[in-house]
Amino acid sequence: MKKVLVMSVAALAVATANAAPEANSFYIGVKAGGTHVIGGSFKDAVAKAQSIDVNQAGIAALESTIAGMPQNLPSRQKAIDELAKLKKEVADNPSKKDLSLLPQKTGAFFRELYKNATFGARAGLYGGYQFTKNVALEANADYLNPTLSTLGEDDTTKRHQNVTHHAVALGLNLKGNVNLYKGLDGFAKAGVNYVINYDNNVNYKDSKDAKLAFHHGAAPTVGAGLEYNFTDKLVGRLEYEYMYHITANQPYNPNIHSLTAGVSYSFGNTAKAKKVEAPVEPKEIITEKVTLTGANGKVLFAFDSADLTSYAQDQLVAISNKIKDAHLADVSVKVFGHTDRLGTEAYNLKLSQKRANSVAAFLGKTVNVVEAKGLGESQPVTSGCKGSLKQLKECLAADRRVDVEYSGKKIEKVRTFVK
């Protein structure tokens, strides 16, 4: 029972690990989060930062100091001379920069950019079609209620100050994603949202104001985020999105930044079901020995050589395939080389070791060889061989052999799980 439970858990893990978007599938999800509106414009923020000038500030300070000094004060003339010198320096070097003002300029830039910045809420549905595991076409329908503040100083935009908009955004985006880690994807998207705005808490009296209370238009949209595959069907999402000018050519055209979290479900996969194979725990240990010798005038090695002939290589390929087809786990292979009794015992032992090494090196490309040993002439399989040298060689041919012994745990036929 314990083994069955372990195998079931392993099969589930195999089926859900590294889940990724499935090609030819649909998905639908829900999301919620917040919106943020930057109250100032980038152009005005740059101008504000550029307006801070150390030279002009110094000139203004000196002029103010001189104006407050008595006419007969000796140091007054020195101050007037210093003022003239500073004005000449500014006139001669109008583009001179002072890096000491960088913190002040940076602060002025962001204060102008984020003046009247506001926050709101966003929630909606999204769904799409996954063409491939990396490309999808996605649609969304969202509700937004960003609080919009005045951007300018004219009479029209002042009336928009602190107005809570109710908006519906209908979008279509092309989305691309890439795997970052096991189950974690990064994505980016680009497209357009058609935004319908309604200022329901504004009481406009004239027709111009009434027109501004309800407006709509297309807003270019880009976004990026992360997706995590909890399973092959359930995907969590964290997303940043930027919409440009949601109020379409009205006096106040804010850009909306939003951050949302969502979850989606994938279904309708038209691709072929994937098969996940889970091996059954091995049981019986199998051991088998194959003996290689020459036949029909073909030999494993040339005379006095340890190089494999083409015939020997063919025989070893057949053995390798046989081991693979046996469906064994934890396979180990041992190779033993033998010679006949012709020659000295020491020479034959050395030659048999070289031949065992040659066979082991060839088989080691596909199977796990754990031992290669030369036994020389110590284990003959022939007896009673006599006659001339030629007759003796022919009689002793069976002694010039290589034994390949392999063992492993027999496993049952692989079980297939379809997801």
Average pLDDT over residues 83-88: 77
Q: How confident is the model at residue 419 (pLDDT cuts 50, 70, 90)?
A: very low
Please report, for residues 243, 299, 311, the alpha-carbon distance to residue 302 in angstroms, rounded to integers and kept in the order given: 79, 7, 11
Residue 301 confidence (pLDDT): 80
Q: State the residue range of the domain holding 51.
A: 46-101
Looking at the domain assignment, is residue 108 inside a domain? Answer: no
- Judge if 60 and 18 occupy the same domain: no
Looking at the domain assignment, is residue 354 inside a domain? Answer: yes
Question: In b/e form, how buried is each residue of 185-206, taking b as 16+ CB within 10 angstroms?
Answer: bebebebbbebebebeeeeeee
For residues 178, 179, 185, 190, the Cα torsion angle rounded to the nearest 10 degrees is 0
Closest CA to 159 of 104, 108, 194, 208: 208
Token match 């917040």: residue? 34
Indicate the pTM of the whole model. 0.48
Give 247 or 128, the one with higher predicted confidence. Answer: 128
- Judge if 166 and 17 occupy the same domain: yes
Average pLDDT over residues 172-200: 89
- Judge if 127 and 233 occupy the same domain: yes
Average pLDDT over residues 405-409: 89
Residue 305 confidence (pLDDT): 82
Residue 36 confidence (pLDDT): 78
Q: Could you say which of 267, 297, 322 is where a domain stops?
A: 267
Q: Could you say which of 267, 302, 325 is where a domain stops?
A: 267
Instruction: List strands edge to edge, sheet with 328-337.
Output: 285-292, 402-410, 328-337, 369-374
Looking at the domain assignment, is residue 24 inside a domain? Answer: yes
- Judge if 118 and 180 occupy the same domain: yes
- Judge if 59 and 86 occupy the same domain: yes
Residue 271 confidence (pLDDT): 44
What is the H or E stretch that residue 331 is in?
strand 328-337
Q: Tally Cβ neighbours within 10 Å of residue 221.
A: 23
- Judge if 290 and 159 occupy the same domain: no
Backbone angles phi, psi at 245, to 5 degrees: 55, 75
Q: Give the DSSP letter of residue 273.
A: P
Looking at the domain assignment, is residue 109 inside a domain? Answer: no
- Judge if 30 and 87 occupy the same domain: no
- Judge if 34 and 143 occupy the same domain: yes
- Judge if 141 and 218 occupy the same domain: yes
pLDDT digits (tens, 9 = 90+) for 28-57: 999 999 887 776 666 777 777 777 665 566
- Judge if 320 and 382 occupy the same domain: yes
- Judge if 308 and 239 occupy the same domain: no
Residue 325 confidence (pLDDT): 87
Residue 94 confidence (pLDDT): 56
Percentage of residues in the chain having pLDDT higher than 70: 69
Looking at the domain assignment, is residue 315 inside a domain? Answer: yes
Cβ-in-10-Å burial (0-12, 13-18, 19+) of 4 comes to exposed
- Judge if 28 and 161 occupy the same domain: yes
Looking at the domain assignment, is residue 107 inside a domain? Answer: no
| Domain CATH code at residue 377 | 3.30.1330.60
Looking at the domain assignment, is residue 274 inside a domain? Answer: no
Q: Give the DSSP letter of residue 398.
A: G
Looking at the domain assignment, is residue 33 inside a domain? Answer: yes
Q: What's the structural domain count of the chain?
A: 3
Task: Check pLDDT > 50 for residue 133.
Answer: yes
What's the mean per-residue pLDDT of the chain? 77
pLDDT digits (tens, 9 = 90+) for 205-247: 444 444 445 677 888 999 999 999 998 889 999 999 998 877 6
Q: Could you say which of 204, 234, 267 is where a domain stops?
A: 267
